[in-house]
Amino acid sequence: MTKPAVYLETTVIGYATSRPSRDLVVAARQQITHEWFALRASTYELFISQLVATEASAGDENAARERAAFLEGIARLRVTNAAGELAARLVESGVIPRTAAEDALHIAVATVHGVDYLLSWNCRHIANATMRQAIECACREAGYEPPVICTPEELMDDTPR
């Protein structure tokens, strides 16, 4: 039996590796992300893309090194022409704003490669309930079955720990 596949979008990596925040919402997301990796990640096959690696390498050098170390050993999905075409379609159709083209590419890579879940804390353009239906519809119109887009909190379950 194969494990379900999860594409880890960059925000999840950020919350998993950043210093504890004093902001209550950020701190809660950090804690949930840590718990997800400790308790649930092993039940999934994890993937990133080069886009995640590139985004994770930006910013503070020490933090970027920590994120890079965290990503070691996680399989990478290729950013294919098909993913680029789907991302362009998501943007051109207005489903994803032009200013968030990278977010469209995360969605497209996960979709084209047929992963089961896209895990993200980007609730503005990816894990957004008001946009989810339009994203799914655009992916299906392009001939793909989209992944379930969710936050780490939504991908927890009640399995005894």
Residue 5 belongs to what H/E stretch?
strand 5-8
- How confident is the model over 91-130, as pLDDT tens digits? 999 999 999 999 999 999 999 999 999 999 999 999 999 9
Domains and CATH numbers, the chain: 5-155 (3.40.50.1010)
Q: Is the pLDDT of residue 38 over 60?
A: yes
Please give the Cα distance from 119 to 46 (Å, whole number). 10
Average pLDDT over every residue of 58-81: 96
Q: Is the pLDDT of residue 160 over 80?
A: no
Q: Is the pLDDT of residue 159 over 90?
A: no
Q: What confidence score (pLDDT) does residue 157 get?
A: 74
- How confident is the model over 16-27, as pLDDT tens digits? 999 999 999 999
Query: Residue type for 72, please?
Result: E
pTM above 0.85?
Answer: yes
Q: Angle at the Cα of 79 (from 5 to 124), degrees rounded to 5? A: 70
Q: Is the pLDDT of residue 1 over 70?
A: no
Closest by CA to 17, choosing from 83, 96, 71, 53, is 71
